[in-house]
Amino acid sequence: MFTMIGIMGKATIIGFLWMVAYTISWGGATALKKWGGIGYILVTCASIIVYFLLHSEFDRQTYKSGLFLIDIAFSLYIFLNFRKLK
């Protein structure tokens, strides 16, 4: 594992931390907890901000995941159904 981190660099660690943040917040959102909904929306907003702050098109394509638009759609769904969360 440490060899892979050394080869791939910090991008692998950052991607792993994003996935952990998304997983924890999505787990809370599916349990209908407000902290989970707020967390998922905040993580998605932070991801969008980081994406637009990247200058190089190569960096943007490297950073962007296949779930980028789905994350935005789920955040919108959570936002529209926020009153149902406990």
Beta-carbon-side half-sphere exposure of residue 48 (alpha carbons within 13 Å): 12
DSSP letter string, 32-82: T-HHHHHHHHHHHHHHHHHHHH--SHHHHHHH--TTHHHHHHHHHHHHHTG
Burial class from Cβ neighbours inside 10 Å (0-12, 13-18, 19+) for residue 23 reads exposed
Model pTM? 0.75
User: pLDDT by residue (tens digit) across 7-65?
Assistant: 455 666 777 888 899 899 989 988 889 999 999 999 989 888 888 888 877 777 776 77
